[in-house]
């Protein structure tokens, strides 16, 4: 999606999408490497929350662009 938003010149969304992808990937890698650390678990939770926030924001944006919405 970051590439798509770059083509559309939506730089805020591009940065948000890229940052979300990097944060979520880092949280997955972190939890898979060090699963018994409390801080790693909190980092994983933060990554999941950021990813769901991105999905929600993208859904709201898409919904607002529909005709008659």
Give residue 65's pLDDT band: very low, low, confident or very high (50, 70, 90).
confident
Give residue 69's pLDDT band: very low, low, confident or very high (50, 70, 90).
low
User: How far is Cα 31 from Cα 19, in angstroms, rounded to an integer?
Assistant: 18
* Domain containing residue 56: 20-64
Domain total for the chain?
Answer: 1
User: Is 59 part of a structural domain of the chain?
Assistant: yes
- Whether 37 has a pLDDT exceeding 90, the answer reads no
The per-residue b/e assignment along 45-69, b for 16 or more CB within 10 angstroms, e otherwise, is eebeebbeebeeebeeeeeeeeeee
- Whether 14 has a pLDDT exceeding 80, the answer reads yes
Q: What pLDDT is stored for residue 67 in this prediction?
A: 82
More confident residue, 47 or 66: 47
Contacts of 19 (CB under 8 A, 6+ apart): 50
Q: Across residues 20-33, what is the average pLDDT?
A: 93
User: Is 46 part of a structural domain of the chain?
Assistant: yes
User: Is 25 part of a structural domain of the chain?
Assistant: yes
């Amino acid at each position: 999606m970051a590439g798509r938003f770059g083509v559309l010149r939506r730089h805020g969304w591009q940065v948000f999408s890229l940052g979300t992808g990097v944060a979520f990937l880092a949280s997955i890698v972190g939890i898979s490497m060090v699963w018994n650390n409390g801080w790693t678990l909190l980092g994983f939770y933060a990554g999941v929350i950021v990813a769901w926030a991105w999905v929600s924001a993208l859904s709201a944006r898409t919904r607002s662009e529909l005709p008659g919405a």
